[in-house]
Amino acid sequence: MGPLEGIKVVELAGIGPGPMCAMLLADLGAEVVRIDRLEAVDLGLEQDRQFNLLNRGRKSVSIDLKKPEGIDAVLRLIDGADALIEGFRPGVMEKLGLGPDVCLARNPRLVYGRMTGWGQDGPLAHAAGHDINYIALTGALHAIGTKGGPPVPPLNLVGDFGGGALYLAFGICAGIVDTQRSGRGQVVDAAMTDGASSLMTAIYGLFASGEVSTERGANVLDSGAHYYGVYECGDGRFVSVGSLEGKFYDELVQRSGLDEAAKRDSLGDRQDKAGWDAYKERLAAIFKTRTRDEWCAAMEGTDVCFAPVLDYDEAPVHPHNVARATFVDYDGVIQPAPAPRFSRTPGGIQRPPATRGEHTEEVLTDWGFTAGELDLLRVAGAIK
């Protein structure tokens, strides 16, 4: 089930954004086959199968890409695919004999998805890097952090997953739509630097207009404004406030008691940045007068634009997340459910993460390999 049911994707195993892109497509119904190595390779983030959630939803085929027979087998799979996902450095797929020219010549309708940090060309294209480096180059990392402090890496959400996986998934889906119209495939060059830069579009617009400065913690959305930030409560836990609009700010003022504090301390206009630090000190003192649960009772569900800051144990059991089944217990692991949601063709987790090579014979058979061909691949050492 799912809106991508019937779409077939071949994924060359990697880490981070490539696997997440494949997971997103599988969650929405695509049949994704993951091509794994025959033996484990230290990629820096090896996990037990059950907890490697980015690998959920698809079957695993182990093929030795150093064997010509293995390359031929992968090309056979690509012949029957709608899309390909690969995350090697530029030129690696070409050296393997799996470059876009070869693949598109065999399957002209193929959408060839390429996931890299720096892109397929440019001065840094062949340099190693990780999420933190890619978002550093875009201005995104510089913008995240508190006043007077250093930039703070936002996990690997902005580069790997936001600027990488989501943009590649979007690109592949757009490419498939175009192929259905034109009958022709193409290459999707998804670079994390490009995607993270795209995510910063609105911020660059605010900067160009003078609404945002390059100083961290001095702007509305980066913890500079007292009405958009995180506050510690009396029990050491935290709440978030996002009272941007005037009517929401009025609600914050009324429910927190900030109006009396502002009058007492002769604080000025809320939009005057010169007074933000003083307002923050007053709000910080106010929020410390109650526990997080007490503030939730007073503000959650109101127009303050308020939410408690929840940890990994708390988020799955929050009533709103429970009501929407935002998290699910699948294969004994609490994990985020597929998103987004569709009214007529809902997606779902197709299967738990696979053991490396778990479905080799099953998938190759389903995709047209004969028993004799499987025997030849085993003799050649291309599969086990």
CATH code at position 295:
3.30.1540.10
Tokens standing for 59? 């079957």
Domain shared by 87 and 226, yes or no: no
Amino acid identity, position 319? P
- What is the pLDDT at residue 39? 84
- What is the pLDDT at residue 270? 82
Domain shared by 192 and 252, yes or no: no
Q: What is the pLDDT of residues 238-267, one digit of tens each?
A: 999 999 998 999 999 999 988 876 666 666
Domain shared by 108 and 31, yes or no: yes
Half-sphere exposure of 348 (CA within 13 A, CB side): 10
- What is the pLDDT at residue 272? 87
Residues of the chain with pLDDT under 50: none
Q: What is the pLDDT of residues 260-315, one digit of tens each?
A: 766 666 666 788 899 899 999 999 999 999 999 999 999 999 999 999 999 999 99
Domain shared by 60 and 13, yes or no: yes
The verdict on residue 213 lying in a domain is no
Domain shared by 280 and 135, yes or no: no
Report the C-alpha gap between 93 and 111 in whole angstroms: 15
- What is the pLDDT at residue 49? 85
Tell me which residue range forms the domain holding 245: 220-232+238-308
DSSP state of 151: -
Residues contacting residue 346 through CB under 8 Å, at least 6 positions apart: 1, 2
The verdict on residue 314 lying in a domain is no
Query: Could you list the active site residues?
Result: 130, 160
The verdict on residue 95 lying in a domain is yes
The verdict on residue 144 lying in a domain is yes
Which one, of 308, 359, 312, lies nearest residue 336 by Cα? 312
Q: How many domains does the chain have?
A: 2
- What is the pLDDT at residue 43? 59
Beta strands at 238-242 and 228-232: parallel, antiparallel or unpaired? antiparallel
Report the C-alpha gap between 377 and 38 in whole angstroms: 13
- What is the pLDDT at residue 260? 73
